[in-house]
Amino acid sequence: MALLQIHDPSAAPTPIGIDLGTTNSLVAYVTSLGEPTTILDCDSEALVPSVVHYAKDGRVIVGRDAQKLALVLPKDTLMSVKRFMGRGADDAETRRLSTYQFAKSDGPVVKFEVGQGRVVTPIEVSAEILRTLKENAEDELGRVGGAVITVPAYFDDAQRQATKDAGKLAGLNVLRLLNEPTAAALAYGLDSKKNGTFIVFDLGGGTFDVTVLSLDDGVFQVRSTGGDTQLGGDDMDRALAHHVFASMQADASSAAPELVRAILDASRAIKHALTANETVEADIDLPGGKSFAARVTRPEFDALIKPIIERTGPTCRRALRDAGIEVAAVDGVILVGGATRVPLVREFVTALFEKEPLGSIDPDQVVALGAAIQADLLAGSGPRDEVLLLDVLPLSLGVETMGGVVERILARNTAIPAGAKQVFTTYADNQTGFELHVVQGERDLAIDCRSLAHFTLKGIPAMPAGMARLAVSFEVDADGLLKVSAREESTGIEQSIDVKPSYGLSDDAIEKMLLTAYEHGEADVATRALREQQVEAARILAATKKAVESDAALLEGPEERARIDAAVAQLEAAVKGTDHRAIAHLIESLDETASAFAGRRMDLRIRQALTGRSVKDVADESAHAQGIEAHLGNTK
């Protein structure tokens, strides 16, 4: 006879941690004894398949029951939607081998057509998974408090915001988004009480992260992070599926969705079986009552997935370089994600970091356990209040300035939450507004970075160039979400925006940002210098031409005018070229050529300013200015 669990209605809600995974998801909490533990569903399973089926009668089925329907109703059953979070409808990911039926969309968000024309977004699908996890937690705990939801460290702002929106749609009070590698380190660090430098190698179903972090007496500080939001176990399944299609002498690109789903599911099962076996023979049930006998050996599978696994190598080496440490200084490697069970992955990690990875905690559960610990800490109910957790920005944030150059305001690997401010000024006379372009990335030109947002600050009084002072502030919260504000200091006019960038990235965009930054480092420096000199030259040319026209009477004859005109012509010609040093040299040459003329103009302006004023008035103003300067100096 089953026992009826009774919950105390007066008890405080229990905070929970959720690992929203590509393949499987799970929820955990910290017990009254202070130990994190996962919550089991009605089938006594911790892992809930991240699969959602939309039935024709309007019902929504989540988990294993949905997974069973994927074979017979593949178009109405959505899997691995995490790979679409924060992505655009024209993204390369939509063209990979899959059974998805994409709906036409006027907006930038991916939409799926399911269940008699019903259209859903990845956010809505993820919300169904989160809602199921919340219900499982309520069955176990009664009342559920705030939730910490984990995300890949390399999720960008759009993907993080999409995850947070899914949590809210599921009825969760999202306390924080926590990077998956950091969650794993939190679980391991508190379990083993170790200090040192650790690598978290997180290869899940759809994403890859590597994080270098230090553990020092309760302080968890991320030193660097890297990854690829489009690399994981799904890619191994696809590689094996293409191999099976080739063995069948069938064309994967034109295969029916039912056949594709059958082959993908079989490939995943074969992958799992090869973890413990050298050879796997499987009879794959095909649509129409047919079957295909597939035989795959471990060496064959390793050859198929080796290029996929090797893609993690450069990212890991770059993370070590960013953290400023050598492989020998690594004290341990933590494996996270189901794909790390693949023997070749473990061999690769062991060779790369020259040590056996840690494996005392189930790699499928470690992220959820860490999230539960963090939720417990944020709720203030846990005994681990001495723990400090410091995450970092995965990519630099900045604004576009004149010439298309990026001015970084918050650098990559800055600990978050973080804030920074920088002051800019106007380029042109009588400029009454600023167009702010917020970008993310490591390149020196805005066109090579990811555009996050545009907004305009209007209503600034017309002033000469360089007089307006625009203070731009960036604030990144603990979830990695950005708020940008701009304030013109002389007028107090202010504008702010929460950056929720348009959803959509090209395939492997985040990884490519760093790769191209390293590959084009020298060229970017030269291009940036050229753009900056071109902008400065344009400013000086405009000012010189205006001065010569307005104060031609101050020129000492045609000879001086000819010398200035010649210097102007030389600089204009150089600006059209690509030698920034030549431009800088000719800027100095024009300045030297026009210096005497500029001096006469300044003398004239001073005489005009002093006309009709007494020496005493000027002296009093000077004394007052010196007093203000002294006061400012004392308050710095």
322 is catalytic: no
> What DSSP letter does each residue of 50-72 carry, written as one string?
-EEEE-TTS-EEESHHHHHHTTT
82 is catalytic: yes
Residue 28 Cα distances to 32, 384, 500, angstroms: 13, 17, 29
d(CA 107, CA 503): 9
Please tell me the total number of residues recorded for the chain in this structure. 636
Collapse the DSSP code of 9 into the 3-class scheme (helix H, G, I; strand E, B; otherwise coil) and give the result: coil
Instruction: Tell me which long-range contacts 382-389 makes (C-beta under 8 A, separation of at least 24).
Output: 382/30, 382/34, 383/34, 384/34, 384/190, 386/218, 387/186, 387/190, 387/218, 387/219, 387/220, 388/218, 388/219, 388/220, 389/182, 389/186, 389/220
**What is the helix (H) or strand (E) element at residue 211, kind and residue range?**
strand 208-216
d(CA 488, CA 471): 6
Smallest Cα–Cα separation from 282: which of 249, 248, 257? 248
d(CA 555, CA 602): 13
Strand residue runs (E) in 103-154: 112-114, 118-120, 144-151
d(CA 135, CA 41): 9
Residue among 82, 111, 271, 500 flagged as catalytic: 82
Burial of residue 369, with CB atoms counted within 10 A of its CB: 0-12 exposed, 13-18 middle, 19 or more buried: buried
d(CA 474, CA 377): 27
Residue among 156, 180, 209, 400 flagged as catalytic: 180
d(CA 107, CA 89): 8
Q: Which two tokens stand for residue 549?
A: 């026209």
Residue among 41, 93, 140, 202 flagged as catalytic: 202
Query: Which ranges in 152-248 belong to alpha helices (H)?
Result: 157-169, 180-192, 233-248
The vertex-555 CA angle with 552 and 561, nearest 5°, equals 90
180 is catalytic: yes
d(CA 495, CA 484): 9
Whether 398 and 408 have beta carbons less than 8 Å apart is answered as: yes
Residues tagged active-site: 19, 82, 180, 202
